[in-house]
Structure 1
Amino acid sequence: MGGVESGTANGGAQVKSAVRTVELLEFFAGRPGMHTLAAVQESVGYPKSSLYMLLRTLVDLGWIETDATGTRYGIGVRALLVGTSYIDGDEVVAAARPTLDRLAEDTTETIHLARLDGTDVVYLATRQSQHYLRPFTRVGRRLPAHATSLGKALLATHDDEQVRRLLPATLEAVTEHTITDRERLIDELRAIRERGWAVDREENTLGLRCFGVAIPYRTPARDAISCSVPVARLTPGHEQMIRDALLDARDRLTLATRRL
């Protein structure tokens, strides 16, 4: 605790306690609910005594919470405050609001704005469908990019070799329809580049089809928008209307973000 590790990949030094703090917060962020000290220690591998002291410090500061027994730990409310601050201060989210509102009204379906973060997409904004039967995705949710239309639209803005460096050869199967072979995914990304939109065919959620487009205000793109529709409600005409609306929204959002 408190030592310094040098020789990092970027040529700088990392403070061990700071690295461990961030890793702990990421552990809890990725695993909702409460966890015992033993379960946390098994996952992160820190010495139990050091881990306990770090957890108690984070509890005192409000970043970690404990249950009534004081023996189980979970993410604290201060993490929510920081996450909300990120969304509130993001220029793309602010610029996208009118476009997301209009797209939701035009399609009557659930609309998402997400950002590529490593091999995942993180949801930054959502507009819920007007229908009773609708998907639910919360802001802050993280999903594998290869299993979503948003992620595939963003991966398609990278060239084939960049995708190979970014993704492992075998990909996680989220559903039975998920593309798990990297080369097969790359073939689909080539088609996405040509037509300008991506589709998730129940690859993330059974019974749900999603269409996505990347926002090219930077290259490679880091943000995308999508429209999610239950398969039971999707007709060829509705699908075409959604794709056209997404492409129109992409063009409007590209103009809105051109100076960012």
Structure 2
Amino acid sequence: MEKNQAHKVKSADRVLDIFELFTGGTDSYNLSEIAKKLEMPPSSTYLILQNMLNRGYLEVDKSGKQFRIGYKLFTIRNRYIQNTSLTGEFYQIADKITEDLNETVSLSVRSGNQLLYLGEKISSQALRFTPNQSDVFPLHATASGKILLADYSEVELHTLYPEDKLEQVTSKTISSLKELKLELEKVRTLGVGYNLGETVLGVHCVAGAVLDAANQTVASISISVPEVRITDEIWDKVHVWIKRACEELGRKVYR
């Protein structure tokens, strides 16, 4: 009985060790790297990783060899974040935006090289963009993702995107790291990020940065509008609201 309990505790410790390994700044590891870094036998490491993979706590890349944090942790994290001031304050601001524009407003953060939605206020119009909490999209294909990447150095970008070719979500998605770097220069100059049909054809999006007390980007607010409804007046209003909403959320939560 005591032996079984000791075994269970040891297994739990190893699972937690694997989770904590991903807090070190590297987004993915292979089996050998995990076993070596945590000084665990490869055979038992493999079994633990497969169990975590099957339960959704880890996922693998296209090669099937690189492990990274899975959707289940983000689902749990989202439940927790819903009760924090960040999302609470966001919804108060989003209510004002949708009352004026009646377009979809989203709050998102980075998860590896993916964009994770934490909250959204959906337009009541029949034609609308409707992201769901825990949805993920490639950072380079989204307006908010470009905002979150804008502060990255050349080295950090190459670490996140080791290959020049990037995943295309639509025919308009940026397809190379070279193109992405040029786009990020525009984001730094303009202070906003754009997505012109790169995630969903026919939907345009503008995003801005939510800054903490150290002026570091911690999240992004975006407004999505179907292309058929865009006028000069609407587009101007979207930009005004993005600036106002990001400043207000950053001030209320982090200042």
- When normalised by structure 2's length, the TM-score is 0.73
- One of 238, 245, 249 as aligned partner of 1:253: 249
* 2:152 corresponding residue in structure 1: 158
Query: Does structure 1 residue 12 correspond to structure 2 residue 38?
Result: yes
* 2:166 corresponding residue in structure 1: 171
* 1:221 corresponding residue in structure 2: 217
SS in 2 for 1:175: coil
> Given the superposition, is the C-alpha separation of residues 80 and 244 from structure 1 closer, same or farther in structure 2, using an over 3 Å criterion?
closer
Contact 2:75 2:134 in 1 (8 A): no
The one-character-per-residue Cα deviations of 1:177-229 (angstroms, maximum 9, x if unpaired) are 00011111111111111111011010010111011112111665231110010
Shift of the alpha carbon at 1:12?
3.5
- One of 118, 125, 136 as aligned partner of 2:130: 136
Query: Does structure 1 residue 113 correspond to structure 2 residue 139?
Result: no
- One of 228, 233, 236 as aligned partner of 1:232: 228
* 2:87 corresponding residue in structure 1: 93
> Which runs of 5 or more residues in structure 1 are unaligned?
31-41, 45-74
Compute the RMSD of aligned alpha carbons: 3.4
Shift of the alpha carbon at 1:90?
3.9
SS in 1 for 2:38: coil
SS in 2 for 1:177: coil
Q: Distance in 2 between matches of 1:213 and 1:233?
A: 21
Amino acid at match of 1:26: G
After the TM superposition, which segments of 4 or more aligned residues of structure 1 sit over 4 Å from their partners?
2-7, 27-30, 78-81
Contact 1:107 1:245 in 2 (8 A): no
Shift of the alpha carbon at 1:166?
1.4
Q: Distance in 1 between matches of 2:129 and 2:246?
A: 22
Q: Distance in 1 between matches of 2:196 and 2:154?
A: 22
Amino acid at match of 2:138: P
* 2:24 corresponding residue in structure 1: none
Shift of the alpha carbon at 1:27?
8.0
SS in 2 for 1:129: coil
> Which runs of 5 or more residues in structure 2 are unaligned?
1-10, 15-30, 66-70
Contact 2:57 2:73 in 1 (8 A): no
Contact 1:199 1:210 in 2 (8 A): yes
Q: Distance in 2 between matches of 1:8 and 1:183?
A: 32
Query: Does structure 1 residue 22 correspond to structure 2 residue 48?
Result: no
- When normalised by structure 1's length, the TM-score is 0.72
> Given the superposition, is the C-alpha separation of residues 211 and 10 from structure 1 closer, same or farther in structure 2, using an over 3 Å criterion?
farther
Percent of aligned pairs sharing the same letter: 24
> Given the superposition, is the C-alpha separation of residues 254 and 18 from structure 1 closer, same or farther in structure 2, using an over 3 Å criterion?
same
Higher mean alpha-carbon deviation, 187-196 vs 79-88, is at 79-88
SS in 2 for 1:26: coil
Q: Distance in 1 between matches of 2:139 and 2:74?
A: 23
Shift of the alpha carbon at 1:29?
8.4
User: Number of paired residues?
Assistant: 217
Q: Distance in 2 between matches of 1:201 and 1:255?
A: 29
Shift of the alpha carbon at 1:108?
1.4
> Given the superposition, is the C-alpha separation of residues 95 and 202 from structure 1 closer, same or farther in structure 2, using an over 3 Å criterion?
same
Higher mean alpha-carbon deviation, 157-166 vs 4-13, is at 4-13
